[in-house]
Structure 1
């Protein structure tokens, strides 16, 4: 099962990342065996874009910087696609034995078949439930990617959904 959620319009930047980070802490504390990653944005001050790091679950002491500093006045995408691919490979290497896969989002890289797409595909093949955030901008690409495998989850019910999915059928 592929669960996804969207936050209400007007949610603060990074709110989905913070929600997933708290969810991982809660579920890990309950003993669920999780694989995946969360994104942590580090504020650099009012005149600077935040630094974006991926923390692979189980490797929190080895964050992966996925943003690039492009300098003041730049307008290009700050994502470092190579670093995101490194994060995806590290997550995929940790799937064995997991009860649930949590990923930061289905973003622009996933919309073009990169990023965490192969990890999601492997999880689906392994019958490992997946939870991730999907923004309005990527909803149609996600629907095309996921077909009838996806289920929208209310953001207030994420923990319950994860518990039900990790319990398996029956």
Structure 2
């Protein structure tokens, strides 16, 4: 089961991430083993750039900063792809006891077969439900990647989707 949130319906990436953080907290509090990577972004006071950080659920290690400071005049991608790969490996290591996987987003790295792609594949191989957010500019590539496996989840239906996704499955 692969559910996805449309940033256009959540109010943007930060809002989607907040919805997923809230869902993860509620499910964890009820005893569900939620694993994955949730993003927070903090805008620096001196410019418009932000520090992107991933919190790895079910892992005792530190949060992973996935952005690089390229300077105030930089216009290129600030993603630290090496840090993202490190985060992906840490998420993979948490999958054996997971009941639900929540990932911050399907982005450019995933389009190129990197980032969290191996994590998504491993979860799907284990029949583990996955929730991910998708920005409008990546929807076509996500649809190509996920095919008929993906189900769009409306923000108001998130709790019901999670309840169905985490129900015990018949063997």
Q: Please report the TM-score for the alignment, with normalisation by the length of structure 1.
A: 0.93
CA contact (8 A) 1:64 1:83 kept: yes
CA contact (8 A) 1:3 1:150 kept: yes
Q: Which runs of 5+ in 2 are unaligned?
A: none
Matches within 5 A, 1:1-170: 1-8=1-8, 11-12=11-12, 14-45=14-45, 47-59=47-59, 62-169=62-169
Shift of 1:61: 5.6
Let me know the Cα RMSD of the aligned residues: 1.7
Q: Distance in 2 between matches of 1:82 and 1:131?
A: 23
Q: Distance in 1 between matches of 2:98 and 2:76?
A: 36
Count of residue pairs the alignment pairs up? 170
CA contact (8 A) 2:8 2:135 kept: no
Structure with more of its chain in helix, by fraction: 2
Q: Do the aligned partners of residues 19 and 124 (structure 1) sit closer, same or farther apart at CA in structure 2, a change above 3 Å counting?
A: same
Which shows bigger deviation, 51-60 or 75-84?
51-60
CA contact (8 A) 1:7 1:155 kept: no
CA contact (8 A) 2:39 2:52 kept: yes
Q: Secondary structure at the match of 1:8?
A: helix
Runs of 4+ more than 4 Å apart: none
Q: Secondary structure at the match of 1:118?
A: helix
Q: Secondary structure at the match of 2:44?
A: coil
Shift of 1:9: 6.0
Q: Distance in 2 between matches of 1:109 and 1:17?
A: 18
Q: Which runs of 5+ in 1 are unaligned?
A: none
Q: Distance in 2 between matches of 1:10 and 1:168?
A: 28
